[in-house]
């Protein structure tokens, strides 16, 4: 019995418990004493008693039996080869999966050698690693029979628990039984655990990247990672004689910050000025048309921006520069300028919507005071509103900068892959996010430093943006409180 | 007492107005206004150029040049040794390219024996003709010996040439479409045999190395699986979490921690979620690589903060009087929330959810890391099968060199934008229709 069928059976028992419990509660009503809880709460409590323990058992059982099975396979493999090898264990498991898919006689009694078994498996669309050995076949068979035995045991156990729970729940139905309180307590627990998912996600992000990063730092020293100026993660397969590549963060970090700077130089003035105009000058009609149009910019996926930069803007800038220089172009098709410009446009709505909130939060009395003293509108904005809004705007810029640093698709398509260290904005540079994508796409073994470095880059990115976000949120919150 | 007469006072010159630089200040005012208008214009012009280039590049992808040919399923070509009764694999292995070529030769009226002429026919029709004719015959063996009119796709090069996208002034040796092919193309077009038809293949095909038979059908299915998973997971968990935080949570350290976490997760770069998906779901829990289930869960975690923030705003907008009335009539707190507050907040929650879903639909970076950037030609039957997503398909076409793929890519972007537009419009309509002012 597979886990899914057991799960479905448990659910069926739960439903029966619900209706039986509710029916019994309804039968209690003799018109004299009112029951504490309405019938559906009695039903729901019976259902919870039936389903929850059974599901808990099923989950624990499947993890436990899986771990036991792996240990058994491991021991048998060691007995055969007298060495511990995680690879062989994986091979046995995929072999066992493959045998399970074969047709009736062969799935319990397959041929004894791999050379006979391979074509059978290939006919079912299963391809195995070539170093799967003959001795693994009996182990895989035993594993399969053990797994099916465990499946049955677990399924029957869960079913028995469900029936017991249902019976107990139905028996408990009584006039004074506080079924509603119990059901609501379970609901509250569910709501609470849902809200902890946010914490779990953060913990998951930090832990998952931390373990890989520690593994990476055991092979490459943190010093050469954080302060190295050369990025050259050579792959051992490229015939470099097994010598390790260099994983210097500096060129990537420089590229990330440079592109983010160009993007901010575009986004902050444009976004801020459009927010000021919208908030202080624009008439209601203009606002109602232009604001959604600018917000469209925020709704377009970043891949579309990236493709626009790659296919249209980059080549166009290159051609323009070729005309200007009269011959060879001085702007490359993939350049800091292209990536920064397009990213800047993407960030305009971010800056403008954040600063719009902040500008409208400045009290009207301050505007009226300044205008009453004879200042023009632009003087009011520049000398009163913007200084008053400054902390909030700084927070908004920080949030925007963190978006710019973490942006991926635009730079993957438009910034280039070569890890240069250059100050020329017309050349290509690469970023942390580009390298994370580069190192993790394609077929790589999971334990080489070439792959693990992506996690070290990721955790760096995570902490840089985390610090910026926390600072920005703190500044914005403090600013809001000032005027509330 | 002397009367002071006006004349005895020194005549004061009318006070000259102090120069307070009004002119300059008004000029500065006008300039400032212009900056604002310029900033908005910049954004809007960029938006217009971007959408304009994509539409002008992509609208042709919705049309596909097709040649309608009378194909004869000639037994002497398909099964020269006449043993299809005993060996059905003959029907699979037969040379169907030859059939299509024969049909084209007779249609064009060229000499079948002239080798150079026939050689120029190569690359006129799509290679997919072989599979198309094979599937027809295998599905209906009675066609053997008959002549059927079949619409066959033209190759990507002929398609581009017919759409006028090939520069014919380039010397013949340096382009993929030869002059003779252009002549034939114009001849067939004049007869009405070769024509542009609506490109249904764009919506039904999967990844392919041939531009004319590649489409976004498989990618759309992958995206739909993921959207369904995001809808179920993120909506259920998000609403539950919001209800707890907004209605039940005590003001304590733990609640603060959760709130700070949610706000931060909303600003974490999306690629970090991809790393999480790779390390936890694929590497630690051993879920299948490039499957929609992993992508869906990863995108759910990414969308969760958006939905929680929107839901909390919607719950907070329900006035306290509703809650007090429910409690006053004897409802428990849980009943008050689920019977009264939640239904009233539903429009706001749905609006936030749709906007979150739209963001998830356009997201690419995390999917690249969990291996969805794979060549997937078959429809995924379940969320556990290898799948790809619409934006990832666009990304893969962006890396192809051929001109015809750029057209497909722009067409796919138009499809993606139409999806997003439809979702956002739904959100706006929902908000307009059900929004209540208290």
Compute the distance between CA of residue A13 and CA of residue A158 in angstroms, rounded to an integer.
11
The DSSP call for residue A240 is S
Confirm whether A208 is domain-assigned: no
Q: What is the DSSP string of B139-199?
A: H-GGGTT-EEEEEEEBPHHHHHHHTT-S-TTS-GGGSSS-HHHHHHHHHHHHHTSEEEEE-
Helices (runs of H) and strands (runs of E) counted in chain A:
19, 2
Same domain, A320 and A443: yes
Q: Is the dihedral of CA B312, B315, B318, B323 positive or negative?
A: negative
**Nearest of A398, A281, A219 to residue B38 by alpha carbon:** A281
Of the partner residues A195, A273, A458, the one whose CB lies closest to the CB of residue B39 = A273
A289: CB partners within 8 A, 6+ apart: none
Residue A238's pLDDT is: 44
DSSP β-bridge partners for residue B147:
B72
pLDDT digits (tens, 9 = 90+) for A324-361: 888 788 888 888 999 999 999 999 999 998 898 888 88
Domain that holds residue A295: 236-483
Interhelix angle B342-362/B403-434, nearest 10 degrees: 170
Chain B residues in contact with A209 by the CB 8 A cut-off are 272, 275-276, 279
Tokens describing residue A17: 């418990």
Q: Which CATH class is domain B217-434?
A: mainly alpha
pLDDT digits (tens, 9 = 90+) for B109-134: 777 777 777 777 777 888 888 888 88
Residue B79's pLDDT is: 77
Confirm whether A221 is domain-assigned: no
Domain limits, chain B: 64-197, 217-434
For range A390-399, the mean pLDDT: 90
A148: CB partners within 8 A, 6+ apart: none
Checking if the pLDDT of A389 tops 80, the result is yes
Identify the band that residue A237 occupies on the pLDDT scale cut at 50, 70 and 90. Answer: very low
Confirm whether A185 is domain-assigned: no
Q: How many CA atoms lie within 13 A of A75 on its CB side?
A: 7
Residue A112's pLDDT is: 72
For range A170-191, the mean pLDDT: 90
Residue A348's pLDDT is: 94
Query: Is B275 within 8 Å of A300 when comparing Cβ atoms?
Result: no
Compute the distance between CA of residue A231 and CA of residue A442 in angstroms, rounded to an integer.
19
Confirm whether A165 is domain-assigned: yes
Confirm whether A127 is domain-assigned: yes
Among A153, A177, A201, where does a domain finish? A177
Where do the DSSP E strands lie in B62-185?
A: 63-72, 147-153
Residue B189's pLDDT is: 84
Among A151, A177, A203, where does a domain finish? A177
Mutate to test the interface with B, among A59, A189, A191 (most CBs of B within 10 A): A191
Tokens describing residue A247: 């994983």
Compute the distance between CA of residue A138 and CA of residue A111 in angstroms, rounded to an integer.
10
Residue B269's pLDDT is: 93
A112: CB partners within 8 A, 6+ apart: A134, A137
Same domain, A154 and A291: no
Confirm whether A199 is domain-assigned: no
Of the partner residues A307, A406, A437, the one whose CB lies closest to the CB of residue B409 = A307
Q: Please tell me the total count of domains within chain A.
A: 2
- Report CA A19 to chain centroid distance, whole Å: 40
Residue stretches of chain B with pLDDT short of 70:
1-13, 17, 438
Minimum CA–CA partner of A180 in chain B: B332
| Torsion angle of C-alpha atoms B364, B370, B371, B372, degrees rounded to 10 | -40
Among A149, A177, A205, where does a domain finish? A177
Same domain, A30 and A117: yes
Residue B249, by phi and psi: left (phi above 0), alpha (psi -120 to 50) or beta? beta
Chain A residues in contact with B395 by the CB 8 A cut-off are 303, 409, 413
Q: Phi and psi dihedrals of B70, rounded to 5?
A: -80, 105
DSSP β-bridge partners for residue B70:
B149
Where do the DSSP E strands lie in A23-129?
A: none
Please report, for the domain that includes residue A390, its CATH number.
Answer: 1.10.3720.10
Mutate to test the interface with B, among A289, A408, A433 (most CBs of B within 10 A): A408
How many interface pairs between A and B have CB atoms less than 8 angstroms apart?
Answer: 239
Compute the distance between CA of residue B35 and CA of residue A274 in angstroms, rounded to an integer.
8
B173: CB partners within 8 A, 6+ apart: none
Calculate how close chain A gets to B130, using CA atoms only, in Å.
Answer: 24
Query: Is A311 within 8 Å of B278 when comparing Cβ atoms?
Result: no
A4 and chain B: CB distance < 8 Å anywhere? no
Checking if the pLDDT of A239 tops 50, the result is no
Same domain, A354 and A448: yes
Confirm whether A217 is domain-assigned: no
Calculate how close chain B gets to A405, using CA atoms only, in Å.
Answer: 8
Interhelix angle B390-398/B342-362, nearest 10 degrees: 20
Calculate how close chain B gets to A97, using CA atoms only, in Å.
Answer: 14
């Amino acid at each position: 019995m597979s886990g899914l069928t057991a799960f479905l059976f448990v659910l069926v028992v739960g439903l029966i418990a619900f209706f039986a419990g509710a029916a019994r509660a309804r039968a209690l009503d003799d018109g004299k004493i009112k029951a504490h809880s309405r019938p559906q709460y009695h039903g729901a409590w019976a259902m919870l008693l039936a389903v929850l323990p059974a599901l808990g058992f099923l989950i624990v059982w499947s993890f436990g039996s899986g771990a036991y099975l792996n240990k058994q396979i491991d021991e048998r493999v060691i007995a055969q080869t007298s060495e511990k090898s995680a690879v062989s264990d994986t091979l046995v498991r995929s072999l066992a999966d493959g045998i399970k898919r074969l047709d009736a006689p062969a799935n319990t009694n397959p041929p004894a050698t791999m050379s006979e078994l391979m074509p059978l498996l290939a006919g079912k669309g299963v391809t195995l690693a070539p170093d799967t050995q003959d001795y693994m076949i009996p182990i895989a068979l035993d594993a399969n029979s053990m797994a099916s035995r465990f499946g049955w045991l677990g399924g029957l156990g869960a079913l028995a628990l469900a029936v017991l729970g249902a019976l107990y729940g139905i028996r408990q139905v009584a006039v004074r039984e506080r079924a509603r309180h119990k059901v609501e307590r379970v609901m509250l627990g569910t709501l609470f655990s849902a809200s902890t998912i946010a914490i779990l996600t953060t913990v998951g992000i930090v832990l998952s990247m931390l373990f890989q990063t520690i593994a990476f730092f055991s092979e490459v020293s943190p010093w050469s990672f954080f302060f190295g100026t050369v990025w050259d993660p050579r792959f051992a397969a490229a015939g470099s004689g097994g010598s390790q590549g260099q994983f210097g963060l500096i060129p990537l970090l420089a590229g990330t910050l440079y592109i983010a700077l160009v993007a901010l130089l575009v986004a902050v003035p444009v976004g801020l000025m459009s927010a000021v105009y919208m908030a202080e000058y624009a008439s209601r009609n203009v606002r109602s048309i232009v604001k959604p149009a600018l917000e469209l910019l925020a709704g377009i996926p970043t891949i579309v921006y990236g493709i626009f930069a790659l296919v249209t803007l980059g080549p166009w800038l290159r051609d323009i520069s070729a005309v200007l220089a009269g011959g060879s172009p001085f702007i490359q098709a993939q350049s800091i300028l292209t990536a920064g410009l397009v990213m800047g446009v993407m960030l305009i709505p971010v800056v403008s919507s954040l600063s719009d909130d902040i500008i409208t939060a400045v009290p009207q009395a301050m505007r009226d005071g300044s205008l009453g003293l004879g200042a023009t509108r632009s003087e009011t904005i520049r000398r009163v509103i913007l200084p008053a809004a400054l902390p909030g705007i700084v927070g908004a810029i920080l949030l925007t900068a963190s978006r710019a640093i973490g942006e991926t698709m635009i730079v993957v398509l438009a910034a280039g892959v070569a890890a240069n260290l250059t100050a020329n904005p017309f050349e290509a540079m690469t970023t942390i996010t580009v390298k994370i994508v580069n190192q993790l796409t394609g077929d790589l073994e999971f334990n080489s430093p070439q792959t693990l470095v992506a996690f070290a880059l990721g955790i760096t990115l995570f902490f840089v943006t985390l610090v910026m976000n926390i600072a920005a949120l703190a500044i914005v919150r403090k600013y809001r409180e000032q005027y509330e | 007492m002397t009367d002071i007469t006006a004349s005895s006072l020194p005549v004061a010159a009318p006070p000259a107005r102090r120069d307070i630089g009004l002119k300059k200040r008004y000029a500065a005012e006008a300039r400032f206004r212009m900056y604002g208008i310029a900033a908005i214009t910049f954004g809007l012009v960029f938006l217009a150029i971007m959408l304009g280039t994509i539409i002008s590049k992509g609208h042709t992808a919705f049309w596909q040049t097709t040649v309608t040919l009378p194909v004869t399923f000639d037994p002497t070509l398909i099964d020269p040794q006449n043993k299809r009764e005993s060996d059905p694999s003959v029907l699979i292995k037969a040379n169907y390219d030859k059939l299509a070529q024969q049909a084209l030769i007779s249609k064009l009226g060229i000499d079948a024996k002239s080798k150079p002429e026939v050689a120029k026919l190569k690359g006129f029709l799509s290679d997919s003709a072989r599979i198309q004719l094979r599937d027809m015959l295998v599905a209906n063996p009675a066609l053997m010996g008959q002549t059927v009119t079949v619409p066959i796709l033209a190759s990507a090069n002929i398609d581009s040439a017919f759409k006028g996208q090939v520069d014919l002034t380039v010397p013949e040796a340096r382009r993929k479409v030869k002059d003779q092919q252009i002549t034939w193309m114009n001849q067939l077009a004049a007869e009405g045999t070769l024509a542009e038809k609506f490109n249904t293949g764009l919506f039904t095909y999967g990844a392919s190395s041939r531009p004319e038979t590649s489409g976004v059908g498989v990618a759309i299915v992958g995206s739909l699986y993921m959207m369904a998973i995001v809808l179920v997971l993120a909506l259920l968990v998000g609403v539950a979490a919001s209800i707890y935080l907004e209605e039940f949570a005590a003001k304590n350290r733990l609640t603060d921690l959760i709130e700070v976490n949610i706000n931060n997760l909303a600003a974490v770069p999306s690629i970090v979620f991809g790393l999480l998906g790779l390390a936890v779901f694929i590497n630690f829990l051993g879920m299948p690589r490039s499957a929609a289930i992993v992508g869906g869960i990863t995108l759910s975690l990414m969308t969760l903060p958006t939905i929680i923030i929107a839901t909390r705003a919607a719950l907070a907008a329900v006035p306290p009087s509703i809650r007090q009335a429910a409690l006053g009539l004897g409802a428990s707190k849980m009943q008050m929330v689920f019977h009264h507050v939640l239904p009233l907040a539903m429009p706001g929650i749905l609006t936030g959810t749709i906007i979150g879903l739209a963001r998830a639909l356009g997201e690419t970076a995390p999917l690249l890391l969990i291996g969805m950037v794979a060549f997937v030609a078959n429809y995924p039957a379940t969320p556990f099968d290898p799948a790809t997503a619409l934006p990832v398909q666009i990304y893969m076409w962006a890396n192809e060199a051929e001109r015809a793929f750029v057209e497909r890519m722009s067409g796919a972007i138009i499809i993606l934008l139409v999806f997003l537009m439809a979702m956002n419009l739904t959100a706006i309509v929902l908000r307009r229709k059900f929004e209540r002012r208290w």
